[in-house]
Structure 1
Amino acid sequence: MKAALPPPRRPLGTLVLLACLLILVVASFASLPLQWSAFFTPEAVTSAREFLAGFAPPETGHAFLVKTAGALWETLAMSLVGTLLAVGGGMLLALPAAGRLGQALRAATRVLLNVLRSIPELVWAALLLVAAGLGPFAGTLALAAHTSGVLGRLFADALENVEPLPEASLRNNGAAPLAAFLYATLPQALPQMLSYTLYRWENNIRAAAVLGVVGAGGLGQMLKYHLSLFQMQNAATVVIAMLLLVAAVDALSFALRRALTR
């Protein structure tokens, strides 16, 4: 009979990392003043029920629905234009970030991408409102700035992970560097890059709906306005419009990804 194989040994570094993560989780719960008992008191339940009851029924007046539809289109346009700008910026940054223009430029571009995506869209919008003023322009630029950092990193990783032999073969047979990249490397990475773009567009729909809180236009600005005036029924209609928009874009993005992967 064959002897039973010993169980695999876990490296000491892995065990230390898991222990540190466990300590961090426990310390996080211990340091936060989480008052779970107060959340489920009869007074809290009654207050929540009365607050939610104020949203019914949603406002369905024709004039308000037309205004909501305009804000919905503004939110959709912000997300679409911001994503398209980010695709261009991300692609330009992905080429040096993938090491195609030298290792020194690769490191500098990676730092720039880290800065762009580490600043949330709300912070970008708050900064750009000073230069661009209130409205959807600042929100569009905020989405483009943050998403450029995200897509630039994802595009660069996709370009680095493609098979290099097809491009090298074209280069060895006399093809120009740009032509070899366009005909050999880019087609391999393009499906993954399109999938990343569609996924970020879904995220930008949600972000664009929230950016209005700082005055960047769209449904978020309407929601903040009506909530500040305690016009809950109007706010309910805006929230429903947000949900419908996100669901429609999610469904469209899913269908496009399915079509690209066939």
Structure 2
Amino acid sequence: MPLPMKPQAANPPYKLPPPLFDARCKACWFTLGLIVLVLASFVSLDLQWAQFFSLDAARSMGRFVGEFFPPDLSAPFLRKVATGTLETLAMSALGTILAAAAGLLLALPASRLHAADPAYARAPTRLLLNALRSIPELVWAALLLISAGLGPLAGTLALALHTSGVLGRLFAEALENAPPGPGEALRAQGVGDARVLLYATLPQVLPQLLSYTLYRWENNIRAAAVLGVVGAGGLGQLLAFHMGLFHMGKTATILGAMLALVALVDVLSYASRRLMTR
């Protein structure tokens, strides 16, 4: 007598992606829309490509670059550049530290930490973060110069305010996207939200938060150099002063110090990220 056959399990209904250039391919339409926008931008802007690549433009640029040589390497001026370099480094570091602390404090009410979290302050806090980061550092510095006066204080606070908005949004996204398993296990044991945050959520996202902070420190080095143009201290203030007086040799020395500082911070940031991932 033949044995009854076991019923075979139905194959799961896999959904195949639509073919390229199909009407249902949303990615294709999105890519096509971006291409149309880029082409429209080239058409709408009056770009003088022929003048840009002309021989006269190349000669003018060559003469301008030649005026930077030789750079001013006199001892008194190098001491002044070294002071400006340390000031720029201190502005960026202090501004980033303040921004990381403020960003983390704002990220907590700006995120929904678990499914049952009502997160009443999420929308208004995210609106505040949008406002902080939508205003450029130069505008913050110009506003703060009125109250703080010329010098590095206005630049440091400008970096801190703008970067707080950036890091706060990034930190909030990291907290919301943290794996929920460890937190749910602790809540099932009756652990409160504060201890769940400290012992489950933050340890998972801490390397990501540190990576975001280091990346913003690199950006703030460049921003701190630019903020000096409006009188916020550091290398940027030296650059605006000497370039305005057409002291091209001194300008070349300041630009070299900026390049060296950015390279140093890039190396330190890369080494720190490598240590965190070991």
TM-score (norm 2): 0.88
Q: Which amino acid aligns with 1:77?
A: A
> 1:183 — aligned with what?
199
How far is the alpha carbon of 1:243 from its aligned partner?
0.1
- Over aligned residues, Cα RMSD in angstroms? 1.7
Moved more, 13-22 or 104-113: 13-22
CA–CA distance in 2 between the matches of 1:7 and 1:140?
A: 51
Counterpart of 1:187, as a letter, is P
CA offsets per residue over residues 100-135 of structure 1, 9 Å max, x none?
Answer: 473331011111111111111111111211221111
Matched, 1:74 2:90: no
Equivalent position amino acid for 1:81 in 2: L
Once the two structures are TM-superposed, the CA of residue 6 in structure 1 deviates from its matched residue by 9.0
Structure 2 counterparts to residues 26-65 of structure 1, below 5 A: 26-65=39-78
Measured in 2, the distance between the counterparts of 1:239 and 1:6 equals 52
Percent identity between the aligned chains?
Answer: 61
> 144-153 vs 174-183, which deviates more?
174-183
Indicate if the aligned counterparts of 1:125 and 1:139 stay in contact, CA closer than 8 A. yes
Q: Distance in 2 between matches of 1:247 and 1:45?
A: 28
Query: Aligned residue for 1:147?
Result: 163
Which residue matches 1:230? 246
Which position in structure 2 is the counterpart of 1:256? 272
* Cα-to-partner distance string for 1:74-95 (whole Å, 9 max, x where unaligned): 0000000000000111001100
Q: CA 1:103 to 1:177, structure 2 compared with 1: closer, same or farther past 3 Å? A: closer
Alignment partner, residue 35 of structure 2: 22
Report the alpha carbon displacement of residue 7 of structure 1 after superposing the two structures with TM: 6.0
CA distance in 1, matches of 2:18, 2:129: 42
Aligned to 2:96: 83
The alpha carbon displacement at 1:169 in A equals: 2.0
Please say if residues 99 and 105 of structure 1, whose CA atoms lie closer than 8 Å, have aligned partners that are also in contact.
no
- The answer for unaligned runs of 5 or more in structure 1 is none
Structure 2 match to 1:124: 140
How far the C-alpha of 1:40 sits from its partner, in A, is 2.5
Alignment partners' CA distance in 1, 2:97 and 2:49:
44
Structure 2 counterpart SS, 1:99: coil
DSSP 3-state at the match of 1:97: coil
**Deviations 1:195-237 (CA, angstroms, capped at 9, x unpaired):** 1111110010011111111111100110111000000000000
Distance 1:123 1:242 in 2: 22
Match of 2:19 among 8, 33, 37: 8
One-letter amino acid of the structure 2 residue matched with residue 105 of structure 1: A
Partner AA of 2:47 in structure 1: L
Hey, what's the Cα distance between the residues in 1 that align with 2:128 and 2:41? 31
Q: Tell me if structure 1 keeps the 8 A contact 2:18–2:25.
A: no
What amino acid is the match of 1:130? I
Cα distance in 1 between the residues matched to 2:70 and 2:17: 65
Distance in structure 2 (CA, Å) of the matches to 1:6 and 1:22:
22
Distance in 2 between the 1:93 and 1:82 partners? 16
Give distance in 1, aligned partners of 2:131 and 2:17. Answer: 46
Unaligned runs of 5+ in 2: 1-15
1:244 maps to 2:260: yes
Distance, in Å, in 1 between the alignment partners of 2:70 and 2:150 is: 31
2:119 matched to 1:103?
yes
CA 1:102–1:215 in 2, change beyond 3 Å: closer, same or farther? farther
Q: Which amino acid aligns with 1:148?
A: S
Q: Distance in 2 between matches of 1:90 and 1:61?
A: 42
Contact kept in structure 2, 1:96 and 1:102, CA below 8 Å: no
How many pairs align? Answer: 258
The structure whose Rg is larger is: 2
User: C-alpha displacement at 1:46, in angstroms?
Assistant: 1.6
Indicate conservation of the 8 Å contact 2:19/2:25, yes or no: no
